């Protein structure tokens, strides 16, 4: 079976059992601040388990794209070494939300694996929870009994809490789980050691393929367990491992998920993949690293996460760079390579994940640019390393190695590798110390401690009423917690209903006031955590259970709405002017301005910018009324031509915002004006590039647009005023610039004429002392630059000579001493002499042995300085 068939068989099987097949959630997580990437199939259903939301259907199955770069065995640096760990992987799963339970989950799992996929039964082992005394839990005999229908006793194993009890977090839904493991070792080895001995022992060929979680408890804050009224099923099956088992290979990398990529790499690099897992088989590791990482990077970019230097974007950058590092070091490749694999990826995943295919060009461009950038960084690092001139047998200090890594991004393993080749070492301990130090520094700064949620009022739901109300009464606090940020306490409140909009979709969170009895509490910000609306306040109400009236900062909200609506209008206008390839890549909307990032491959021309402004301003003048439809089924919205964004997770029902159905329809949870007229005026402030293929526009509306254009007009008026209000200002400025340049030229020729005039009269003042030509003079009306030029030109004409020029500017005095190089000696050292004679002008100085300058505040001393110089020359 091909991988695509295996995946399809899974869907078909569960669809037949009444499951709804849903699309994968984006791999990039946008709603949960504690999680950057989706790392398990259940992430998108978390709210169902928590009871924050009720699912539309009770049986669901899907494949979820996941990304893991940290954890017990999934450190990024480990991927590629073995045969079965990945950064990006697919997780097949089936779910029951208060519907079927252990019986069905177990029998279906068994049927799918053995009947549909035809896995040999005698190689399958199952594990069940053995119970836990401290939690007062008995062994999961229910599951064990169910398994006995299919599996003989000797292949049913019991494991403890660590392996077979699943918890979502410190509190919340949890329950025992049951895993299916498969033993893929050759018969010879199986006959020597039973697979039974190797389950959960990290053997690469005896691996878990499916985890069935039976969610039946709720872990309370005091760590006690409570039976749930509704029981759930949550399963997860690693797709890559499943393919390995079904296709009978001994490594995930030998399945057809990876072999086409390895083959392509062989052709590109000219090296053969030998499939060795020895730590010395660097080339093979490199192959695996590349074919693994290209998936992670591409999926993340497709869902909108561009490589960057902070947060989730930095994780993606690190993954990509690790792949580059490997082909650079071990496959002798100095040119971008990863981007060439994209057509293949699109071909393979297109049917399941259309976002890869439809954005192929964009992803390719991003990856190519990122590769180029890092190859440049590597080159810079190599150059720097060369400059250090490390000798054979030396040890490169940890400090320098760390500097190379930290400041210039030169990977430490590459430093070590080069050292190995050139016969020097790196002080690893020193490096690790420096790294630990930096981590500590960063961590101590970012320290943010959030306390536990404290429940106040039991509410069925948490409702946002801010589309229709800007203030509301009779609100109750559901829960609160204390958060410590940089030694300051702030507080988070969750209300049962609220007019406050939580930051989302680029629109900033509302601010405003909560009134509780006589107490007024400021809301500093409103943020979203999954589906909770969290109000950030600077103090807690004294009466937690009192009723609250909440009112938001209305003018701030209205200005923000202007900019949000402008974003929609501009998005539509951009697609009209530039083309349908324009896709939103990021957006920020606040009360002052809007910032919109979108995919487009070249700089916009001034005309295009003007056109976009024109279209938007026309739509503003048409004063189009907002069309707002809540709870539109997603299918219907799609059919009406609403713009959908990649990397955005849409629910079953969506909110649709329309300004002229033939112009702008977007799915959006944000706040918008009633009619476009309130935007007043729209003006683009800047258009720039922020990444390969991504442009950014900053624009303003209403008051800010007026202020901005007014500022420009004032500035122009000021310039015009300076020119006595001419008809054509730019011509005036151009002329002035030209005239200025001509004058500058003239001035410099006049100066040099003047200097040469001085030169002639000075040449006649040369005297000979002790056999040396000496010229000393006091000069006025030159600057230091002129003095230097004069001095050098005198020296050139006089040849071997000593020249001392004193410059009197009235308030200050400067000395310049030139001694022809042939004459310099221990005594005739310009620097030493000038230091001595500068005392006369009450100053100091210095320079080289043949040229020195000094400055001071006593012009009358110049004569004395000249006299002293003569004495020195006389000896």
Partner RNA sequence: GGGGGAUUAGCUCAGCUGGCUAGAGCGCUAGAUUUGCAUUCUAGAGGUCAUCGGUUCGACUCCGAUAUUCUCCA
**Identity of the residue, 192 or 443, whose beta carbon is nearer to RNA in the bound complex:** 443
Site for RNA in 642-661 (CB under 7 A): none
- Of 315-323, 346-354, 540-548, 649-657, the segment contacting RNA by CB under 7 A is 315-323
Q: Which one of the spans 519-527, 614-622, 653-661, 842-850 is the region binding RNA (CB under 7 A)?
A: 842-850
In angstroms, give the least distance from the CB of 275 to RNA. 30
CB nearer RNA, residue 57 or residue 689? 689
Lookup result for tokens 């002035």: 736
Q: Contact between 789 and RNA (CB under 7 A)?
A: yes
Q: How many CA atoms lie within 13 A of 678 on its CB side?
A: 16
Dihedral angle of Cα 529, 533, 538, 543, to the nearest 10 degrees: -130
Q: Which two three-digit tokens encode residue 261?
A: 């990529």
Taking a C-beta distance cutoff of 8 angstroms, is the pair 562, 678 a contact? yes
Rounded to 10 deg, the angle between the 141-148 and 102-111 helix axes is: 40
Q: Yes or no: say if 356 and 363 are a contact pair by the CB < 8 Å rule.
A: yes
CB 381 within 8 A of CB 409: yes
Can residue 68 be called a binding residue for RNA (CB under 7 A)? no
> Minimum Å distance from CB 399 to RNA?
11
Tell me how far, at minimum, the Cβ of 179 lies from RNA, in Å.
Answer: 31
Closer of 469 and 839 to RNA (Cβ): 839
Contact 587, 567 (CB under 8 A): yes
Q: Smaller CB distance to RNA: residue 480 or 851?
A: 851
Q: What is the DSSP string of 608-673?
A: HHHHHHHHHHHHHHTTPBPEEEEEEEHHHHHHTT-B--TT----SEEEEEEETTTTEEEE--S---
Q: How far is the C-alpha of 770 from the C-alpha of 758, rounded, in Å?
A: 26
- The least CB distance from residue 789 to RNA, in Å, is 5
Distances (CA, A) of 817 to 150, 382, 796: 103, 44, 14
Classify residue 516 by its DSSP letter: E
Nearer to RNA, 119 or 787 (CB): 787
Helix, coil or strand: residue 336: coil
Closest approach of Cβ 211 to RNA, in Å? Answer: 28
Q: Which of 199, 246, 342, 854 binds RNA (CB under 7 A)?
A: 854
Interface pattern 798-837 for RNA (x via CB under 7 A): ----------------x----------------x------
Query: Which of 51, 39, 261, 26 has the alpha carbon at shortest distance from 172?
Result: 51
Nearest alpha carbon to residue 644 among 303, 230, 159: 303
Among 80, 466, 855, 859, binds RNA (CB under 7 A): 855
Give 73: exposed, middle or buried? Use CB within 10 Å, 0-12, 13-18, 19+.
Answer: exposed
Task: Name 409's Cβ contacts closer than 8 Å, sequence gap at least 6.
Answer: 374, 377, 381
- Cα-Cα end-to-end distance for the chain: 102
DSSP codes of every residue in 667-719: E--S---SBGGGG--EEEEEEEEEETTEEEEEEEEHHHHHHHHHHHHHHHHHH
Which of 506, 512, 843, 861 is close enough to bind RNA by CB under 7 A? Answer: 843
Q: Does 431 bind RNA (CB under 7 A)?
A: no
| Span interacting with RNA, options 671-679, 703-711, 719-727, 840-848, rule CB under 7 A | 840-848
The H or E element containing residue 545 is: none
Q: Which of 649, 641, 645 has the alpha carbon at shortest distance from 596?
A: 645
Nearer to RNA, 30 or 181 (CB): 30
Pick the closer one to RNA by CB: 175 or 398.
398
Q: Does 172 bind RNA (CB under 7 A)?
A: no
x/- letters, 436..455, toward RNA (CB under 7 A): --xx-xxx-xx---------
- What minimum distance in Å lies between the beta carbon of 706 and RNA? 24
Q: Which is nearer to RNA, 711 or 844 (CB)?
A: 844
From the CB of residue 358, how many other CB atoms can be counted at a distance below 10 Å?
A: 15
Nearer to RNA, 319 or 470 (CB): 319
Least distance to RNA, CB of residue 297, Å: 15
- Nearer to RNA (CB atom), residue 195 or residue 373: 373
Member of 505, 693, 856, 859 binding RNA (CB under 7 A): 856
The alpha helices in 409-491, defined as continuous H runs, are 412-422, 428-446
Site for RNA in 538-597 (CB under 7 A): none
* 846 near RNA, rule: CB under 7 A: yes
Taking the least distance from each CB to RNA, the nearer of 144 and 819 is 819
Residue 792, interface with RNA (CB under 7 A)? yes
Q: Is 725 in the site for RNA (CB under 7 A)?
A: no
DSSP code for 37: B
Total site size for RNA, rule CB under 7 A: 44
Q: Which is nearer to RNA, 589 or 671 (CB)?
A: 589
Window of 316-324, 337-345, 643-651, 717-725 that interacts with RNA by CB under 7 A: 316-324
User: Segment 383-422, which members bind RNA (CB under 7 A)?
Assistant: 403, 405-409
Binding residue for RNA, selected from 311, 351, 651, 781, defined by CB under 7 A: 311
Cβ-contact 680, 639 below 8 angstroms: no
Q: Is residue 170 within 8 Å of residue 219, measured between CB atoms?
A: yes
Please, what's the b/e burial string for 672-683 (b: 16 or more CB within 10 A of its CB; e: otherwise)? Answer: bbeebebbbbbb
Among 149, 640, 848, 867, binds RNA (CB under 7 A): 848
Strand ranges across the sheet with 682-691: 584-589, 594-599, 694-701, 682-691
| H, E, C per residue of 131-174 | CECCCCECCCHHHHHHHHCCCCHHHEEEECHHHHEEECCCCEEE
Tokens for 858, please give them. 């006593």
Q: How far is the CB of 513 from RNA (least distance, A)?
A: 26
- Give yes or no for residue 845 binding RNA (CB under 7 A): yes
β pairing state of 59-67 and 88-97: antiparallel
State yes or no: residue 314 binds RNA (CB under 7 A): yes
Binding to RNA (CB under 7 A) within 676-715 occurs at: none
Binding residue (CB under 7 A) for RNA from 100, 217, 327, 374: 374
148, 263, 318, 334: residue in contact with RNA (rule CB under 7 A): 318
For residue 575 the two structure tokens come to: 């697609």
Binding residue for RNA, selected from 247, 377, 482, 530, defined by CB under 7 A: 377
Reduced to 3 states (helix: H, G, I; strand: E, B; else coil), residue 70 is: coil
Closest approach, Cβ 415 to RNA, in A, equals: 12
CA distance 467 to 552: 12
Q: Which of 373, 398, 541, 859 binds RNA (CB under 7 A)?
A: 373
Q: Minimal distance in Å, beta carbon 841 to RNA?
A: 9
We find the least distance from the C-beta atom of residue 409 to RNA, in angstroms, to be 3
Does the footprint of RNA cover residue 797 (CB under 7 A)?
no
CB of 487 to RNA, least distance (A): 13
Task: Establish if 793 lies at the interface with RNA (CB under 7 A).
Answer: yes
Shortest distance (Å) from residue 403 CB to RNA: 6
C-beta of 440: minimal distance to RNA in Å? Answer: 8
- Residue number, 318 or 734, with CB nearest to RNA: 318
- The minimum distance between CB 366 and RNA, in angstroms, equals 13
Stretch in the footprint of RNA (CB under 7 A) among 40-48, 337-345, 470-478, 787-795: 787-795
Chain residues that interact with RNA, rule: CB under 7 A: 309-311, 314, 317-318, 321, 373-374, 377, 380, 403, 405-409, 435, 438-439, 441-443, 445-446, 788-789, 792-793, 796, 814, 831, 843-848, 851-856
């Amino acid at each position: 079976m091909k991988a695509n068939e295996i995946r399809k068989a899974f869907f078909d099987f569960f669809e037949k059992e009444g499951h709804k097949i849903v699309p994968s959630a984006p791999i990039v997580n946008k709603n949960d601040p504690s999680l950057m990437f989706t790392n398990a199939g259940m992430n998108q259903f978390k709210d169902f388990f928590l009871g924050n939301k009720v699912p539309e259907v009770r049986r669901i199955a899907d494949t979820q794209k996941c990304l893991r770069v940290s954890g017990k065995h999934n450190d990024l640096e480990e991927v590629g070494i073995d045969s079965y760990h990945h950064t990006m992987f697919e997780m097949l799963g089936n779910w029951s939300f208060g519907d079927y339970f252990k019986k069905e989950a177990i029998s279906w799992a068994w049927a799918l694996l053995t009947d549909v996929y035809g896995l040999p039964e005698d190689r399958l082992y199952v594990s069940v929870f053995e119970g836990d005394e401290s939690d007062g839990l008995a062994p999961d005999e229910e599951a064990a009994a169910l398994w006995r229908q299919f599996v003989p006793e000797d292949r049913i194993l019991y494991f403890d809490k660590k392996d077979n009890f699943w918890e979502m977090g410190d509190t919340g839904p949890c329950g025992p789980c049951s895993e299916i493991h498969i033993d893929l070792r050759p018969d010879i080895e199986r006959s020597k050691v039973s697979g039974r001995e190797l389950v959960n022992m990290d053997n690469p060929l005896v691996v878990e393929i499916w985890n069935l979680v039976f969610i039946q408890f709720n872990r309370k804050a005091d760590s006690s367990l409570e039976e749930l009224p509704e029981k759930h099923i949550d399963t997860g099956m690693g797709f890559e491992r499943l393919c390995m088992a079904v296709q009978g290979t001994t490594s995930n990398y030998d399945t057809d998920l990876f072999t086409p990529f390895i083959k392509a790499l062989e052709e590109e690099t000219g090296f053969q993949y030998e499939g060795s897992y020895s730590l010395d088989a660097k080339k093979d590791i490199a192959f695996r690293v590349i074919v693994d990482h290209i998936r992670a990077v591409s999926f993340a970019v497709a869902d909108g996460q561009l490589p960057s230097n902070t947060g989730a974007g930095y994780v993606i950058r690190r993954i990509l760079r690790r792949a580059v590092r490997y082909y650079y070091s071990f496959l002798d490749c100095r040119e971008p390579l990863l981007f060439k694999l994209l057509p293949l990826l699109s071909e393979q995943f297109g049917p399941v994940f259309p976002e890869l295919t439809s954005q192929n060009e964009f992803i390719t461009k991003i990856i190519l640019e990122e590769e180029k950038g890092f190859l440049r960084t590597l080159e810079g690092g190599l150059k720097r390393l060369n400059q250090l001139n490390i000798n054979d047998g030396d040890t490169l200090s940890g400090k320098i190695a760390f500097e190379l890594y930290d400041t210039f991004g030169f990977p430490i393993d590459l430093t070590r590798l080069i050292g190995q080749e050139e016969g020097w070492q790196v002080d690893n301990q020193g490096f690790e110390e420096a790294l630990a130090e930096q981590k500590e520094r960063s961590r101590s700064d970012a320290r943010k401690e959030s306390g536990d949620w404290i429940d106040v009022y039991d509410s069925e739901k948490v409702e946002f009423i801010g589309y229709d109300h800007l203030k509301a009464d009779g609100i109750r606090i559901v829960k609160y917690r204390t958060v410590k940020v940089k030694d300051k306490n702030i507080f988070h409140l969750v209300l049962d209903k609220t007019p406050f909009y939580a930051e989302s979709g680029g629109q900033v969170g509302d601010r405003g006031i909560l009134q509780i009895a006589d107490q007024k509490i400021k809301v500093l910000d409103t943020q979203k955590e999954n589906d909770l609306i969290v109000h950030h306040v600077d103090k807690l109400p004294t009466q937690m259970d009192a009723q609250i009236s909440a009112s938001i900062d209305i003018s701030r909200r209205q200005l923000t709405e202007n900019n949000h609506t402008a974003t929609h209008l501009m998005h539509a206008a951009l697609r009209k002017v530039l083309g349908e390839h324009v896709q939103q890549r990021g957006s920020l909307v606040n009360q002052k301005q809007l910032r919109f990032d979108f995919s487009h491959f070249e700089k916009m021309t001034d005309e295009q910018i003007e056109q976009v402004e024109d279209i938007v301003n026309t739509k503003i003048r048409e004063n189009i009324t907002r069309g707002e439809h809540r709870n539109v089924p997603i299918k219907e919205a799609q059919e009406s031509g609403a713009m959908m964004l990649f990397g955005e997770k849409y629910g079953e029902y969506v909110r649709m915002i329309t300004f002229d159905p033939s112009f702008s329809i977007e799915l959006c949870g944000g706040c918008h004006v009633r009619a476009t007229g309130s935007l007043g005026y729209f003006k683009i402030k800047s258009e720039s590039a922020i990444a390969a293929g991504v442009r950014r526009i900053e624009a303003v509306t209403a008051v800010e647009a007026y202020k901005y254009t007014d500022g420009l007009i004032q500035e122009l008026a000021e310039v015009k005023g300076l020119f006595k209000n001419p008809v054509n200002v730019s011509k005036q400025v151009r002329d002035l610039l030209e005239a200025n340049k001509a004058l500058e030229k003239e001035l410099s020729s006049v100066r040099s004429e003047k200097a040469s005039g001085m030169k002639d009269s000075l040449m006649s003042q040369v005297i000979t002392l002790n056999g040396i030509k000496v010229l000393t003079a006091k000069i006025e009306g030159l600057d230091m630059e002129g003095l230097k030029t004069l001095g050098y030109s005198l020296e050139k004409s006089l040849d071997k000579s000593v020249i001392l020029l004193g410059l009197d500017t009235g308030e200050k005095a400067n000395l310049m001493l030139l001694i022809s190089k042939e004459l310099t000696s221990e005594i005739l050292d310009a620097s030493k002499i000038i230091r001595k004679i500068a005392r006369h002008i009450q100053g100091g100085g210095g320079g080289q042995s043949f040229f020195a300058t000094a400055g001071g505040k006593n012009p009358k001393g110049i004569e004395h300085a000249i006299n002293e110089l003569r004495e020195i020359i006389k000896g």
